[in-house]
Amino acid sequence: MPNLTAGLTLPALLVTDRLPAVRSAMIAHTLDALVVSERSNIRWLTGFRGSSGVVLVTAEDLVVFTDGRYTQQAPLELAAAQCPGRVERSSALERDVAAQLKSTMTVGLESRAVRWAELLRWEQVLPSPPVPVPSLIEELRAVKDEAELARIGAAAAIADQALAQCLEHLVGGTSERDFAERLNDRMRALGANGPAYETIVASGPNAAHPHARPSDRAFCDGDLVIVDVGAVVDGYRSDMTRTFVIGNEPVGQTRQLLEVVIAAQKAGLATVAPGCEARAVDRACRQVIDEAGFGELFAHGTGHGVGLDIHELPSINHASAAILQPGSVLTVEPGVYLPSVGGVRVEDLVVVTETGCRPLTFSPQPSYEPEF
């Protein structure tokens, strides 16, 4: 079994251009300083992969504050990523960050990452009340560079190959848990760091739950089986879903569900383009499902961005005002779920291009002969 990452040369992940972009965004938010505490944001901005620390960004400086476990690792990772910053050892992050600030500074905190107890500590030491900043870096992360796309593409290729190598076990008698574990093992054998999230294998009635966990239920003839699988390569993730039928051709409502969801996904993918509103992709998928009479059974958004995290910007749902840009990586994953019966979801990962989008996942969705 070939390791798909063995001998694969991935472009260096360099962060050189990211600090100027963050500083420009800080100006737009009228911030003199920004404290970055969300782990994926720290890695994206600096290259530092440790589990503890924060980053202080000002107009003149970037400082990574971390504890003694990482004072040797962090400078090496910043240098490898060409991050123009420095590392400070800290045993009291809030106090040490505040010591670097002037009394007139307006300081932003990442409101999605700071817990209540942390906020209280920050309020005690900062020169002025902190400003909540919900998604400044996340918005910049939504557009991937070539090095990021290479890693996401490699992760997607591994998930494609792992699924192909496991299809022989997609038969009656195999349990959901066994199939999920086989997928996870194959992804690691093919060079993944691991699964991108808890692999979903849901059969029969369990497939009516969009985020069902694999159980000991065995596949039975006629079951719809949702397989939602992704891999991680050097921190970057992939995401894909296929729906299968066990043992025989789908008939009746099972066939109708498959046809409707496949058509809905095709409509959504055809909508993805630069300058398109994310909500338009959701609307395109939802219209097909609504017209088929299953609208109330499509109970989640159409997709999401993917990168260092499995759920990133842009969000693809009815309320999203995001504008798709070249380099954005996102899923298109409509689904219909019948309580106590089963469900269908089909998901692909695509990158927005200058003219539309190109796929990153290539596993074929099973096609079924038409009924006569």
Answer yes or no: do 330 and 209 share one domain.
Answer: yes
Please count the structural domains in the chain. Answer: 2
Helices 176-189 + 146-166 axis angle, to 10:
130
Q: If you average pLDDT over every residue of the chain, what do you get? A: 95
Instruction: Report the pLDDT value the prediction gives residue 244, as an integer from 0 to 100.
Output: 96
Instruction: Report the pLDDT value the prediction gives residue 253, as an integer from 0 to 100.
Output: 87
The alpha-carbon radius of gyration of the chain (Å, integer) is 23
Distance between CA atoms of residues 269 and 302, nearest Å: 11
For residue 370, being part of any structural domain is answered with no
Average of per-residue pLDDT across 188-192: 97
Instruction: Report the pLDDT value the prediction gives residue 371, as an integer from 0 to 100.
Output: 42
Please say which residue of 141, 161, 187 terminates a domain.
141
What CATH number should be reported for the domain holding residue 29?
3.40.350.10
For residue 369, being part of any structural domain is answered with no
What CATH number should be reported for the domain holding residue 239?
3.90.230.10
What are the tens digits of pLDDT across the range 275-323?
999 999 999 999 999 999 999 999 999 999 999 999 999 999 999 999 9
Q: Is the pLDDT of residue 135 over 50?
A: yes
Distance between CA atoms of residues 185 and 192, nearest Å: 9
Please, are residues 265 and 288 in contact by the beta-carbon 8 Å criterion? no
Contacts of 345 (CB under 8 A, 6+ apart): 210, 226, 228, 241, 243, 261, 333, 334, 335, 336
Answer yes or no: do 217 and 322 share one domain.
Answer: yes
DSSP 298: -
- B/e letters for 271-294, b = 16+ CB within 10 Å, e = fewer, are bbbbebbbbbbbbbbbebbeebeb
Answer yes or no: do 181 and 321 share one domain.
Answer: yes
State the pLDDT confidence band at 5, using cuts at 50, 70 and 90.
Answer: low
Answer yes or no: do 213 and 354 share one domain.
Answer: yes
Per the structure block, which two tokens stand in for 352? 């927005």
Answer yes or no: do 159 and 266 share one domain.
Answer: yes
Answer yes or no: do 198 and 105 share one domain.
Answer: no
Please say which residue of 109, 141, 173 terminates a domain.
141
Answer yes or no: do 114 and 179 share one domain.
Answer: no
State the pLDDT confidence band at 235, using cuts at 50, 70 and 90.
Answer: very high
Answer yes or no: do 297 and 195 share one domain.
Answer: yes
Q: Is the pLDDT of residue 138 over 50?
A: yes
For residue 368, being part of any structural domain is answered with no
State the pLDDT confidence band at 1, using cuts at 50, 70 and 90.
Answer: low
For residue 366, being part of any structural domain is answered with no
Distance between CA atoms of residues 192 and 5, nearest Å: 8
SS3 244: strand
For residue 222, being part of any structural domain is answered with yes
Phi-psi map region of 354: left, alpha, beta (phi>0 left; psi -120 to 50 alpha):
alpha
Instruction: Report the pLDDT value the prediction gives residue 248, as an integer from 0 to 100.
Output: 78
Answer yes or no: do 134 and 150 share one domain.
Answer: no
Q: For residue 280, what are the domain limits?
A: 146-359
For residue 1, being part of any structural domain is answered with no
Answer yes or no: do 128 and 171 share one domain.
Answer: no
Taken in order 313, 318, 321, 325, is the CA torsion positive or negative? positive
Please, are residues 77 and 43 in contact by the beta-carbon 8 Å criterion? no
Instruction: Report the pLDDT value the prediction gives residue 2, as an integer from 0 to 100.
Output: 63
SS3 26: helix
Answer yes or no: do 42 and 152 share one domain.
Answer: no
Please say which residue of 119, 141, 163 terminates a domain.
141
Answer yes or no: do 175 and 287 share one domain.
Answer: yes
What are the tens digits of pLDDT across the range 159-179?
999 999 999 999 999 999 999
For residue 135, being part of any structural domain is answered with yes
For residue 3, being part of any structural domain is answered with no
Instruction: Report the pLDDT value the prediction gives residue 4, as an integer from 0 to 100.
Output: 65
State the pLDDT confidence band at 370, using cuts at 50, 70 and 90.
Answer: very low
